[in-house]
Structure 1
Amino acid sequence: MITIVEGAERDRHPALIDEMFRMRAAVFADRLEWDVSVTNGREVDRFDAEDPLYLLSLDDRTGALQGAVRLLPTTGPNMLRDVFPVLVPGGAPASPLIWESSRFAVNPAAFNAYERAEANHVVNRTTIELLCGIVEVCQRAGIEHVVSVFDARMARIFRTIDCAFEVIGAPTRIGRTMTYAGIFDMSDAMRERLGEAGRLLAPVLAPVDPRQTPAPASSD
């Protein structure tokens, strides 16, 4: 199940948010060896100060954190525009109807107890659950597209699960891997394809208080 935490209200979930930052350090700094800043075992960047929306995948039985992703509006500071402009020499998308996803991560600590084959299955399911959650929350808020920066490994995963994307700008080798900027359609068709790939036909978002639902986007 996916729990939504708004950045402005993350003090209401201190343990869960702290675990997310620790997971990000384990994934992006330790495992992927990205050039990210880790302080006291936590990976936090300047975009976490922009009141993003966090989607957290929690184990239905134990409540353990299985994965997370961050969403930001493209009308303000975001990674594609401010960190990876080389990928979009013509300029990054900026629209109230487009959000950016970043820091997509599956928690390696959550699967240590599984046998390898079962762990791979759960990792794949968590990945698809997070993607389904992105579509569902965007549809709630009236968001039509999501942009994201991802590497060749994630591009292969997206293609495997029929998570269609359009490459925008100019793919560029950053560090040791080819890196892409892509735009994803937050449509019913996208949700249906992901649901079939992960056998997640029912909604994945946990019920929320209407007062905590992201405000619909404005096209003005």
Structure 2
Amino acid sequence: MEILAVPAAACGEFADLVDSMHRLRARVFGARLGWNVDVKDGRETDAYDQFNPTYLLAVAPTRVVAGCARLLPATGPTMLANTFHQLLPSHGLGPHPGMVESSRFCVDTSLDEGGKQGLLHRTTLMMFEGIIEWSVANGYHEIVTATDLRFERILKRAGWPMKRLGLPSQIGNTMAVAGTLPASVESLDRIRATADRSGMRLHHHVAA
């Protein structure tokens, strides 16, 4: 499994992987989770795909995308500030140049090379590792995201606990919460230590 960062300018070069990512998002958010998302021809997209994001992709040897996340500077339009603002405190998000938003995170667990080990999934931990590596390399030290309570528990088990920005709120059929995550070498070390304890040595590097 390889972690690949695809900026908006390179989406044409990696069109097959970007297409695979949109198909994965449709399967996870539309079919499996039943979210109210826009799926056309088996692909899920939304308005935030138009704001020049960087996509972080976990790519299997078969060139199928097994995991993905969308990264956008928090100082621009973001899903949390513009769509899920009810998850934020009264003073809002408070974006700054060192903050990046992660959205549309998902993993296809059926494609993992090593299967499930313990309570955490190898591809999920690789994606966490990749998000932190990319963020640090690009000058971000804080990651903001909206997620559900189940995924909040996964982050905590991975050694990367989220700091809540507000109280959980029902969005559709999901109890959601917003929070921030540190992007630092220390966070990276904790996730790698969690993987090592489960017999899953990571220490991959993001390919740009």
Q: Structure 1 length as normaliser, TM-score?
A: 0.85
Is the Cα–Cα contact under 8 Å of residues 3 and 205 in structure 1 kept in the other structure?
yes
Instruction: State the Cα distance separating 1:175 from its structure 2 match.
Output: 2.4
Residue of structure 1 equivalent to 2:135: 138
1:104 aligns with 2:109: no
> What count of residue pairs does the alignment treat as equivalent?
201
Residue of structure 1 equivalent to 2:31: 30
Is the Cα–Cα contact under 8 Å of residues 56 and 67 in structure 1 kept in the other structure?
yes
Rate the CA distance shift 1:108–1:129 in 2: closer, same or farther, 3 A: closer
Q: CA RMSD in A?
A: 1.9
Q: Which amino acid aligns with 1:71?
A: L
1:187 aligns with 2:187: no
Unaligned runs of 5+ in 1: 209-220
Is the Cα–Cα contact under 8 Å of residues 99 and 141 in structure 2 kept in the other structure?
yes
Rate the CA distance shift 1:30–1:201 in 2: closer, same or farther, 3 A: closer
Which of 95, 119, 122 is the matching residue for 2:115? 119
Secondary structure of the structure 1 residue equivalent to 2:57: strand
Instruction: State the Cα distance separating 1:197 from its structure 2 match.
Output: 1.4
- Cα deviation 1:188-211 (Å, max 9, x = unaligned): 1100011111234523312x4xxx
Higher helix share: 1
Q: Structure 2 length as normaliser, TM-score?
A: 0.90
Is the Cα–Cα contact under 8 Å of residues 71 and 99 in structure 1 kept in the other structure?
yes
Query: Could you list the runs of 4 or more consecutive aligned residues of structure 1 that deviate by over 4 angstroms after TM superposition?
Result: none
Is the Cα–Cα contact under 8 Å of residues 192 and 201 in structure 1 kept in the other structure?
no
Residue of structure 2 equivalent to 1:218: none
Is the Cα–Cα contact under 8 Å of residues 99 and 146 in structure 1 kept in the other structure?
yes
Secondary structure of the structure 1 residue equivalent to 2:151: helix
Is the Cα–Cα contact under 8 Å of residues 152 and 179 in structure 1 kept in the other structure?
yes
Deviates more, 1:170-179 or 1:80-89: 170-179
Instruction: State the Cα distance separating 1:177 from its structure 2 match.
Output: 3.1
